[in-house]
Amino acid sequence: MEIGRFVWGLIPFLVIFIVLDVVLRGVALWRSSKRDEKGWFVALLVINSIGIFPLIYLLTHPEKKSKKK
């Protein structure tokens, strides 16, 4: 009975990790496609890293700010 309670206690954390992974992966894929970085796009699409790999990409490739006048 204790194992069941433990598993049910982990579900909120699992949901948080899944949502975080989807958001990070989506932003990283969008940014890599916008920059025409095909290698990064394929790597981000294939490698499942619970948000770690997309986070590394987003931190090492900051968004370029456009100059608007």
Does this model's pTM top 0.75?
A: no
> Is residue 10 assigned to a domain?
yes
CA-CA distance, 55 to 24, in Å (whole number)? 6
The amino acid occupying position 53 is: F
Ranges of residues in the chain whose predicted pLDDT is under 50: none
Range of 35's domain?
2-60
Burial 2-14 (b: 16+ CB within 10 A, else e): eeeeeeeeeeeee
In a domain, 46, yes or no: yes
Tell me whether residue 38 is in a domain.
Answer: yes
One-letter amino acid identity for 26?
G
The confidence score (pLDDT) of residue 30 equals: 93
Q: Does some domain include residue 14? A: yes
Asked if the structure places residue 65 within a domain, the reply is: no
Task: Give the pLDDT confidence score for residue 68 in this predicted structure.
Answer: 65
Residue 69 confidence (pLDDT): 58
What is the number of domains present in the chain? 1
